[in-house]
Each structure stands twice: as C-alpha cells, then as structure tokens.
Chains A and B, each alone.
Chain A
Amino acid sequence: MYLDMHSHSVSSDDSRATVEQYVKWIQVLRKRGHIVDGIVLTEHRKFDFDKNYSDLASQYDVLILKGSELDTRYGHFLVYGVTKQLTEAIDFGDTRMDSRELMKAARQYDAFALPAHPGRFGIGLTDYISQGETFEDVSIVERFNGGSRPGENERADELCESHGLLGIGGSDAHLTSHIATCMTNFNTTIRKEGDVVDALLSKDFHPVWLKDTINGASPT
C-alpha cells in the first residue's frame, strides 16, 4: 500500500493545507489514475493526541495517520508510532535535542524515528556525517522528499548506497496540491500508527514517486 509518510496540515505553523483539502486532493489524484492509500501527518515539533480524523478517513476512503517531525541538533527527524510514554520522555519542542537519544527513546517506547530529508543542504544528516558525527541507530532515512531542491534527493541516494540504508518517501507537503508527490510502498497492511512501526521494522518497503503509481505501476 502507498502511504505519504511526511505531510503537514495547518496544525503546523508553516502549512496552509487542511486535512480535508488533502483528502479531497487525493480524490483528484485517484481520478488521474494514481494510487494513494493514505497519509501520515507529521506536524512540526508536536504530536496531536487530541485530533481525530476518522470521519474524514472513512468519508474519503483515505487512511489518515499521525506522526511528528522534530527538530534536533542533527536535522529533522520523522517519528512514527508516537506514544504517550515517548512524549513524556522526550520534549518534542526541544530543537537542540540529540537525535541519537530520540531514536533510542523512540524504540524504547514502541515508536520509530528516522532522519527526514537527509540530503538537505545545511541541515541534512549527510552534512553532519561529513563533519564526523556517527549515527549507529540509523537504518532507514527519507530517501525521496517532495520538498527537496535539485541535488538533495541525490545526496540522500548516495547516503543510502554508501551506508546500506533503506529509504522511505514522503511529500513534505505544506500545500494541498503537493500531497503524495512521493510515497512509500509497503508490502504489508497498515491500519494504525503502530502498524507503521512494524512495517518499517519489516524492511519490506521502498520509496516511490507519484508518477510511478499510475495504474498501480511501481518499480522495485
């Protein structure tokens, strides 16, 4: 199934798209022949425990899951399967947190954290690795990021190849029409946030561009 693993709604301060606009736009993409099964809302520096999108999800037949995108001293990290215990252990608003501690805490509390847009110039993981930092717990990175500038996804590709990392895809949408520009194709069924963690741990997925989902076609 095809999930956009990285998106921001108006719950993030720099997004101008509502969740309803995203799911309506997904209907447009489906009419054009694309396959989009769901999205993960990864709001900046927070987790929206109080938000429930189940009505929208069933009305538009789109899986809507919640995650987070946290700022750390080593770039942005996407967090899936966020639990109460994790938010009690980690201050999601701390932009100077050590991402290595975040990754360890995430696994301790049944979640999973991985670097977003690692090829981003200036703040991507590749730059920190070049500076001599090591990240032993990184096994998956966001290889396809829909908000990247030319060259940044290529740097993510090189990182994956040189370090033997797996990759996911996410649009990083902040505007309605950017949702699902890239996604992750999972070979397992995902229904809830915890399933995303299991699916990541299964290693049975790969990143895809929207254009490659036309009529279900997807290169492996």
Chain B
Amino acid sequence: MPYYDEIELGDEIGPVEKVATDDEVSSFCEVWGTSSPNRFTDAETAAKSGMKGGPIVPGIMTMAMMAQLLTDWGGPGSIKDLDLVFRQPVPHNRALTLAATITDIREEDGENLAECDILMTGTEGERYIGGKAIVTLQSR
C-alpha cells in the first residue's frame, strides 16, 4: 500500500479490468435481498424498464466495484468519500475498465488525504460511471 509521502498529483490507480457476469449479478442480488423478478437479472423486466440492452448491473454493485479498486490500493477502511455520477446503465458480461487519477493531495484535520477522479468505462469508449473519491493514507 502506498504511503502519503510517496504519491504525487497525476498518479494513476489501476486500470483494472472487470466483468460483471450474469452469475455474479444474481449472487449479488441474492445477498442484497432485492425482490424478483427485477431489471438486474430478468430480461423481460429490464425491457419493461426501458433497458434495451438487457438486464443491468445494479448501481450499488458497480459502486462496490469502484470501492474495491480504491481499497485494493489504499487498504481496508481507507475510503473517506465516494461520490459517483451514474451516466448510463452498466451491462452484464462486458469488459469494464476501472481507473482513478490522483488530483489533489492534502492534510486535513490530522488526516492525509488523496482525492481522485474515478471512472468506469467500456471498450467502445462508454463512460458508464464517473466521480470522485477521497482516500486516507498513512505517512511513512
């Protein structure tokens, strides 16, 4: 895990490639306890909700994927803030690229903070989710 003293503006976190498969979405919905049928696992319900490309990945699951990118880098419990804008539905079984860029580094109220832009994109240039995150880091 990086120390606060080691990072610089413009440092990249990732990119990491992920795929949210049908099975993973189903498992997530089961654990989450959402009622069925739903637009995340059922094609017909998704179509009725206006999702032309089939069932979608739940927003809260994509948020968890983004969070994992950050905790894999900064360590468990390092996320102080995660503020995302969901720009378009995320499809199942497609390659997703998750990446973040450090845009600000500061000490605030005794904490070492790294602020990042964070993005989930697709192989065709789709920008599914964008936002910013604040991660706390230890000093050396």
Decide if A16 touches B127 in the complex (CB within 8 Å): no
From A20, which residue of chain B is reached at the shortest CB distance? B104
Residue A96 at the B interface, CB < 8 A?
no
Instruction: Give the chain A neighbours of B9 by CB distance below 8 A.
Output: 24-25, 28
Residue B85 at the A interface, CB < 8 A?
yes
Which residues between 103 and 126 of chain B lie within 8 Å of chain A, taking CB atoms?
103-104, 115, 117, 119, 124-126
Residue A126 at the B interface, CB < 8 A?
no
Residue B130 at the A interface, CB < 8 A?
yes
Q: Once bound together, how far apart are the Cα atoms of A86 and B88, in whole Å?
A: 34
Decide if A16 touches B104 in the complex (CB within 8 Å): no
- How many chain B residues touch A (Cβ–Cβ < 8 Å)? 17
Instruction: Give the chain B neighbours of A175 by CB distance below 8 A.
Output: 103, 117, 119, 130-132
Residue B15 at the A interface, CB < 8 A?
no
Decide if B85 touches A177 in the complex (CB within 8 Å): no
From A147, which residue of chain B is reached at the shortest CB distance? B127
Instruction: Give the chain A neighbours of B124 by CB distance below 8 A.
Output: 149-150
What total of A-B pairs shows CB separation below 8 Å?
46
Known: A149-B124, A175-B130, A176-B117. A25 touches B85 (CB 8 A): no
Decide if B85 touches A21 in the complex (CB within 8 Å): no
Decide if A149 touches B103 in the complex (CB within 8 Å): no
Could you tell me which A residues sit within 8 Å of B by CB distance? 14, 16-17, 21, 24-25, 28, 32, 147, 149-150, 174-178
Known: A16-B131, A176-B132. A25 touches B125 (CB 8 A): no
CB distance from B119 to the nearest CB of A (A): 7
From B8, which residue of chain A is reached at the shortest CB distance? A28
Determine which of B85, B104, B115 lies in contact with A174 in the assembled complex, contact meaning CB atoms within 8 Å.
B85
From A178, which residue of chain B is reached at the shortest CB distance? B117
Q: Once bound together, how far apart are the Cα atoms of A16 and B104, in whole Å?
A: 13
Secondary structure class of chain A's binding surface, majority of residues: loop
Q: Once bound together, how far apart are the Cα atoms of A16 and B82, in whole Å?
A: 11
Decide if A21 touches B83 in the complex (CB within 8 Å): no
Which residues between 1 and 27 of chain B lie within 8 Å of chain A, taking CB atoms?
9-10
Instruction: Give the chain A neighbours of B41 by CB distance below 8 A.
Output: none
Residue B136 at the A interface, CB < 8 A?
no
* 15 further A-B pairs in the complex, CB-CB below 8 A; given A150-B125, A174-B85, A176-B132: A14-B85, A16-B85, A16-B130, A17-B117, A17-B132, A21-B104, A25-B9, A28-B9, A147-B127, A149-B125, A174-B130, A175-B117, A175-B119, A177-B10, A177-B103
Instruction: Give the chain A neighbours of B126 by CB distance below 8 A.
Output: 149
Decide if B117 touches A177 in the complex (CB within 8 Å): yes
From A152, which residue of chain B is reached at the shortest CB distance? B125
